[in-house]
Structure 1
Amino acid sequence: MTKTWLIYALGGGWGHLNRALSLGRIAVNQRKVEIITNSPYAKHIHNQGCLLHSIPHYTGFAATCLQVQEILLNTDYDCLIVDTFPRGLGGELVDILPRLHSIPRILIHRDINPRYVIEKDLRSFVVKNFQAVIVPGEGKDLPLGDLPGVIHTAPWLVRNAGELLDKKTVRSHILRVDDTQKIILVCAAGQASELALFSQLTLKLHQTFPECAVRILTPHSPQDELKDLWVFHHPGIECLAAADVIVGGAGYNTVYECAAVGVPLVALPLARLYDRQHKRVSRSYAVKNIQEVLTTVNQLLQTRQPANKPPIPTYTNGAIAAVHHIINYEL
């Protein structure tokens, strides 16, 4: 009988859900995969063969915690995988985890604010309640990175290099750009409240670089004057791979997807309660304001090779190794 993995992936943006899908789509060849999510973007994606327990993002805090507990207590699964928050986003896993004596529990340790780790005494909690900790490409300088038996993989990506759509197809059919133009792609993958900032950036880039094709990648419909520049496609990594320069935040997906496909990222670190984008931004071209965005984009465009001869991405998808590691903990 096929075993079932249940992945806890609560969080308001793309990151938690995309990491869960990156892992789940590889695992579905050997396991049944179910994902708990409250991402507002869940309705915009293909579930990659995974079953989604989708809690509406507008559900209240207490009601969300109760729904999570009901799913955990009333679903049959053989392994629980928790992304980022060992206690749960609202502490709702504290009373549940000790009851799962016979079920392997795996923590996915993305970088997290060390103040939260100290306040909630997460070190002792993780040691007591999880059999393994996997770091998905975030390096070793993490609050829980020195716990015994931590496993490090390359970043998890929702597409392997060989699965990416042909760049010429993406340029013409998705981004709607001809072969002669360089593409500046604004990746508005964060919270819906940040769309105004990225819309302003898009408009300024469009005005400053009229010779380029500027596009804004977001599931949210932007203001009317940007309608012709608006694109939405999932997985976004396929659009990133076809661009010449990316402008965005410094979230997990944006940073590691740009690095994987070899396209420079001009990143504005955005404030988050738990995620330290200011730390991750060092992997990109870090900027502080719109003027620095324009200056850096201009410099990168001067050195970027012609768009019609892009390099073919080659990278390691850490989700593949992670699946093997988790299977080993089931045995």
Structure 2
Amino acid sequence: MRQLNTSSNTWLIYALGGGWGHLNRAIALGRIASRNRPVKILTNTPYGRYIEKFLPETNCQIFAISSTADFETTCTQVQQILRETDYQCLIVDTFPRGLGGELASILPELKTSLRVLIHRDINPEYVKVKSLHRFVADCFDLVLVPGEGVEVPLANLPCVQHTNPWLIRSAWELPIRQDVEDILRLNPLDRNSKVVLVLASGTAEELSFYGELTSILSQSWENVAVRCLSAEKPDKCPENLWVFHWPAMECLQVADVVVGSGGYNTIYECQALRIPLVAFAWPRLYDRQRVRVQRLVSANYEAGLAQSRLVLADSLETAIAAVCSELNLPVSKRCRPGYDFVNGAFSAVFAIELCCNFTK
């Protein structure tokens, strides 16, 4: 049996990738794990700089690699950190070989570290081309599927464990409604107004699209408050409608309907809180947003979960129509926020701890 490093109980989380998903997933896990050990997160997302002031409360140390660094520089820095940092457990988010393949040569060297893969859904063609079934079986001790279903490409590996989705907040941590209304600059005297939240992230083109959508929605109804949550103000978004708050999950409970992407965070946060979501499945090299949305639409339908309404949109027109349909529902059929969800990050931490203890 392989012996783990006993000089350190640190967990190091590899969370490279350009969007919010990798970083938020790492923090969701790390903030819970850090109650019993140091946690370090390696990231290169450009969004990292927007949440620096919030990082102390996560109790995680961030290793930030510049999002503008070239391929070779990024790979070299990652390998240097992995070789020079003392840790008991390496947790790799989504990309078993690393975002640029930089982990392929170094993972076999880490003989005294537990190696865990966070298996978010990923393009099966990538899995096939890179022979990831064999690679993951050889290089990882544990594979955690964070709520992505049983049809993910590596689900048949014997070391796989499934959890509920990993969320950046548990139900008891969410702020009260009045505080959220203050964050969003909603009129406290107009409690009868409905609220539409547009969660904007992605490419410059996608941000501009969300900005235009926010503007159109704000002009469509008199008794509806529209806000756009984004790290940067999207083009075409009116200044008075733009808000940045992290984590966005804290704001969702006041929404009558959310418009956003089919990405991991948006989908599972809305599902957890039972907030209706109009989702766009943006094209990504590795993330199958359309597959995620369609899987959950089918699952909700089969389970009769009308309170977890999820609609796939493919244009401004279909999104506006879906929002309108949701807002026009009678009171008896509207969704109400739910706070009985289970945060899978807790069971993920427990699974890793068990694996660490078993391998010692």
CA change 1:191–1:329 in 2 (3 A) is farther
Report if aligned partners of 2:46, 2:67 keep a CA contact under 8 Å in 1: yes
Give the drift of 1:209. 2.4
- Say whether 1:156 aligns with 2:162: no
The whole-number CA distance in structure 1 between the counterparts of 2:204 and 2:175 is 27
Partner of 1:139 in structure 2? 149
Contact 2:212 2:236 in 1 (8 A): no
Q: How does 1:76-155 map to 2 (within 5 A)?
A: 76-155=86-165
Letter paired with 1:329: C
Kindly state the Cα deviation for residue 189 of structure 1 after the two structures are TM-superposed: 3.0
* 8 Å CA contact 2:30, 2:60 repeated in 1: yes
Q: Does residue 1:7 correspond to 2:13, yes or no?
A: yes
Q: How many Å apart are 1:173 and its aligned residue?
A: 3.6
In the alignment, which residue of structure 1 is the partner of 2:248?
A: 236
1:281 aligns with 2:303: no
Change (3 A) 1:6 1:225: closer
**How far, CA to CA, are the matches of 1:165 and 1:181 in structure 2?**
20
Unaligned runs of 5+ in 1: none
Matched letter for residue 262 of structure 2: A
State the distance in 2 between where 1:266 and 1:225 align: 18
1:223: how far off?
3.6
Match of 2:341 in 1: 315
Partners of 2:62 and 2:154 lie apart in 1 by: 28
2:35 is matched with 29
SS in 2 for 1:208: coil
- Is contact 1:2-1:31 (8 Å) kept? no
Q: Which residue of 2 aligns with 1:190?
A: 202
Q: 1:14 to 1:305 in 2, by over 3 A?
A: farther
Q: What CA distance in whole angstroms lies between the structure 2 residues aligned with 1:230 and 1:281?
A: 26
| Coordinate RMSD, CA, aligned | 1.6
Q: Residues 134 and 150 of structure 1 are in contact (CA less than 8 Å); yes or no, is this contact kept in structure 2?
A: yes
Q: How does 1:198-213 map to 2 (within 5 A)?
A: 198-213=210-225
Q: For the residues of structure 1 that align with 2:8 and 2:50, how far apart are their CA atoms?
A: 28
Give CA-to-partner distance per residue, 1:249-270, whole Å, 9 cap, x none: 1000000000011110001100
CA distance in 2, matches of 1:192, 1:312: 33
d(CA) in 2 for partners of 1:69, 1:244: 46
**Contact 1:135–1:150, Cα closer than 8 Å, also in 2:** yes
Match of 1:215 in 2: 227
1:225/1:149 CA distance change after superposition, 3 Å? closer
The counterpart of 1:67, out of the listed 73, 77, 88, is: 77
Mapping of residues 159-170 of structure 1, within 5 Å: 159-170=169-180
Deviation at 1:3, TM superposition (A): 1.1
User: Which SS does the other structure have where 1:88 is aligned?
Assistant: coil
What CA distance in whole angstroms lies between the structure 2 residues aligned with 1:185 and 1:100? 44
For structure 2, the residue ranges without an aligned partner over 5 or more in a row are: 1-6, 297-309
Which residue of 181, 187, 192 corresponds with 2:193? 181
Q: Is the 8 A contact 2:166 2:345 kept in 1?
A: yes
d(CA) in 1 for partners of 2:134, 2:338:
44
Quote the offset at 1:201 in angstroms: 1.0
Query: Matched residues in 1 for 2:146 and 2:284: separation?
Result: 19
Distance 1:79 1:273 in 2: 28
SS in 2 for 1:41: helix
Whole-Å Cα distance in 1 between the matches of residues 8 and 273 of structure 2? 34
- Matched position secondary structure for 2:40: strand
Output aligned runs, 1:39-58, within 5 Å: 39-45=45-51, 46-47=54-55, 48-58=58-68
- 1:330 corresponding residue in structure 2: 356
Residues 226-252 of structure 1: per-residue CA shift (max 9 Å, x gap):
100001101100111221100011000
Structure 1 letter corresponding to 2:133: R
User: 1:243-300 deviations in whole A, cap 9, x for unaligned?
Assistant: 1100011000000000011110001100000000011112321111111111111111
- 2:256, 2:84 → 1: CA distance? 48
Q: CA deviation at 1:225?
A: 5.5
How far residue 115 of structure 1 moved from its aligned partner, in angstroms, is: 0.3
In percent, how many aligned pairs have the same letter? Answer: 48
Q: Distance in 2 between matches of 1:190 and 1:244?
A: 23
1:177 to partner: Cα distance = 3.7
CA distance in 2, matches of 1:17, 1:300: 31
1:263 is matched with: 275
Note the C-alpha offset of 1:304.
6.5
Q: TM-score, normalised by structure 2?
A: 0.88
Cα separation, 2, equivalents of 1:264 and 1:192: 25
